[in-house]
Amino acid sequence: LYSPESRPTEYNGRCFFDVREFMAHHSLTLKGISWMRSKEVEYVKYEYLSREPHSDS
C-alpha cells in the first residue's frame, strides 16, 4: 500500500488516489487490496476520440 510518504520515487505524480483518505471518508476498514498496471495505447486513444470527439470550444 503506497502512501505519499512511502511510494517509490518513480511513482511521484502518478499516485493520485489516496486509499487512506477514501477509507476515512466512507468509514471503511481495509480487508485487502490489489493493483494492476495499465498502459494507454494508440488504439484506445482512437476509440475515445471516435466516441466523444474533442471540442476546442
**Tens of pLDDT, residues 11-23:** 666 666 778 888 8
Q: How far is CA 36 from CA 9, 33, 39, 55, in A?
A: 18, 11, 10, 31
Residues sharing a CB contact under 8 Å with residue 9, sequence separation 6 or more, in sequence order: none
pTM here is 0.39
pLDDT average per 10 residues of sequence, the chain (57 residues): 65 71 90 78 80 60
- Distance CA(43)–CA(27), nearest Å, equals 39
Distance separating alpha carbons of residues 20 and 5, to the nearest angstrom: 12
Residues 52 and 5: their CA atoms lie apart, in Å, by 37
Copy the grid coordinates of residue 37: 498496471
Domain ranges of the chain: 1-33
